[in-house]
Structure 1
Amino acid sequence: MHPPPVRPSAAAVRRVFVPRAFVPLLLCCALLFGTAACGGDSDASPSATSSAERQKFAKTRFVANAGLAAGATYQWIVKPYRDGRFKSGADGRRFALVKAGLAGAFTYNRLKAALRNAKGDPTLAKAVAPLAAGVEALKDLPSKLRKGDSTEAVVGSFDGAINSVKDAGRSAGAEVKDKVPSAGELAKG
């Protein structure tokens, strides 16, 4: 048969079981104090990260809005003007002028948004600050385009504003490329 089980001495029990009882307690304390220590650092980290992220997103939004404005200006204002579609008696003149008027309103809207976006990045804000008055001057020009009034001057104003915004973006490290908006985006403004 089997011999009776041997019982460990009281000293042996203390050596083996006492440290095992403290392990969960030590782990809980380490987690509790470790979490508290990390919590203090988390207050400083998000503000630094979110500030950098805000600047990055400001440039990204600026480039997107300015790119849409540039694409609309070229596609529906500058290109049709160069093709002679705004001239009196040209085939589809009325339709081309209406699209140009919509594109002008869209361009004004996107440029205003781009200027607001630029405020999130100090370098970009400095670069585009002088352009605010030029963009604001575009406000009444879409109606002139729709009517066919002073098309050469109006087209020149839009083209000049877009080129200024592109130059300012380039100087601040935010390269703007033309992105032609869809007809739905154009209609929404």
Structure 2
Amino acid sequence: MTPSTVRRLTLLAAVTAAAGPLSTSHAILDKTRFVAHLGAAYYAFHHWVLTPYRAGRFASGAAGRTATFAKGGLALLFAAHEVNVAEKVAHNSHDPLLQKLDGELVKLKGSFTAIGNRAKAGQLSDADIQTLDDATTRIGSDSAAGGQPIKDVAAPIPGL
């Protein structure tokens, strides 16, 4: 073998050896991004929709109902966006946990869209809120069981 061939093979071996840890690091980065985006979505949903709803602030005749609906709708849009980003991370990841959660996130995206449309029309129901709460709880439990607990992450939402 010529010295240049040896250098090329050495370089190829070094790159191949480095590629293994990079893919593991990439999977860890995927999980971090996934948890951060879902945490922001959970915060927006819990803080601006679920808590006011349980306090009766969406009820007909409640003080500040219109503002609460506007804030809740904006929070749902933000949460839907964050769930969409988390779903893309999960879909493109090679991590088995994220691939498992991808299907649940697709369902959650659909729920956010449908419920967001009803919220825009001012028709938010107990069943709508319970559907989102159940879905977020289920995904959070599955993620925590896989070693990646999702916690609310306070994220600034423009306009709120």
Q: TM-score, with normalisation over the residues of structure 1?
A: 0.73
Corresponding residue for residue 109 of structure 1 = 81
* 1:85 has 2:50 as partner: no
Aligned to 1:164: 138
Does 2:153 align with 1:179?
yes
Give the count of matched residue pairs: 156
CA distance in 2, matches of 1:148, 1:122: 39
**Secondary structure of the structure 1 residue equivalent to 2:80:** helix
Unaligned runs of 5+ in 2: none
* Root mean square deviation of aligned Cα: 2.3
One-letter amino acid of the structure 2 residue matched with residue 88 of structure 1: S
Other-structure match for 1:39: 11
1:150 equivalenced with 2:116 (yes/no): no
Work out the CA distance in 2 between the residues paired with 1:161 and 1:135: 10
Distance 1:93 1:133 in 2: 29
Aligned partners of 2:47 and 2:80: how far apart in 1?
A: 15
Alpha-carbon offset, residue 64 of structure 1:
0.2
Aligned to 1:136: 110
- 1: distance between equivalents of 2:121 and 2:67? 11
**Letter matched to residue 108 of structure 1:** A
The runs of 5 or more residues in structure 1 that have no matched partner are 1-31
| 2:49 and 2:72 in contact (8 A); partners too | yes
Question: 1:133 offset after TM fit, Å?
Answer: 2.2
